[in-house]
Amino acid sequence: MKTFLLTFLLIVSASVFAQERIALELLIDDSGVLLDAQEADRYKLMLLAHVKALATKREGANTKIEVISTALGRTVWSGTPLTLRRDPARAQDLVAAIKADPARCNALPGAFRELQSNLAQLERVGVEAVHIIVFSSLIHTPRPCADVTEITLPQLPPTDGDIPGAFAASTHISSVSFFWVSPHQKFVWEGFLEGAFTSLRQNGARVRFLDVERSKEALRTAPFTLGETP
């Protein structure tokens, strides 16, 4: 009996490990400075539809998903594609969590610190492939931002925190995709992240950095596979 129980536990443990080999980190801009917020929210739903579609793929159904709010700077939802497919209440919680709120600041350094923390934890538990998606206009409005009436673009990336260093927290990053980047911010952020992007590409990761218009085209395509993002 003990031998049977031990064998069963080993099988279950192996199954759980296999299910958690892949992770998807989503940084979603839910702030008041997201460009074309209403339209952006529609494209966020397209992105979620791509993620949900992984539930129909054997290798993707149990992908570990962590969603980080750029406004709050913390993980606001975690689950799997199967969660989105089978649990409408939790799926609705996610939809509500990522909706842009005009009253919210955009704490980008905090969001990338949370990403770094999540990646370090995934590294510790042995996740083999991590895909990162950032959906943000990359406009920083540190707290308190209630009195901010005018933002001049292009705006230099925030210097507090080590945003480029977040991408060095895992040796298993397979892809990084930025969507909905402000056209004014694209050039300055590409320069800001150039070293991190070069290292990622040298390690075999796919990197894309798309402004609003190119994001629309990319997010209309078929659901992504685990080898690439939309």
Tokens of 215: 């994001």
pLDDT tens-digit map of 45-79? 999 999 999 998 888 899 999 999 999 999 999 99
Query: Average model confidence (pLDDT) for the chain?
Result: 88
Tokens of 216: 């629309």
- Phi and psi at residue 149, to the nearest 5°: -110, -15
What is the CATH classification number for the domain harbouring 77? 3.40.50.410
Using CA atoms, how far apart are residues 78 and 225, in angstroms rounded to an integer? 20
Look at residue 10 in the predicted model and tell me its pLDDT.
35
Tokens of 221: 């395509």
Binned at pLDDT 50, 70 and 90, residue 11 comes out as very low
The boundaries of the domain holding residue 149 are 20-219
Tokens of 137: 């206009």
What b/e readout covers 55-75, taking b as 16+ CB neighbours within 10 angstroms? Answer: beeeebebbbbbbbbbbbbeb
Reduce the DSSP state of residue 133 to 3 states and report it.
strand
pLDDT of residue 223 exceeding 50: no
pTM: 0.89
Name the domain count of the chain: 1
Look at residue 132 in the predicted model and tell me its pLDDT.
96
The residue with greater pLDDT, 174 or 143, is 174
Residue 121 lies in a domain: yes
Binned at pLDDT 50, 70 and 90, residue 150 comes out as confident
Residue 26 lies in a domain: yes
- Phi and psi at residue 26, to the nearest 5°: -115, 120
Contact (Cβ atoms closer than 8 angstroms) between residue 128 and residue 172: yes
Average pLDDT over residues 158-169: 93
Residue 205 lies in a domain: yes
- Among 85-89, 130-134, 138-142, the least confident range: 138-142
Torsion of CA 120, 122, 123, 125, to 10 degrees: 130
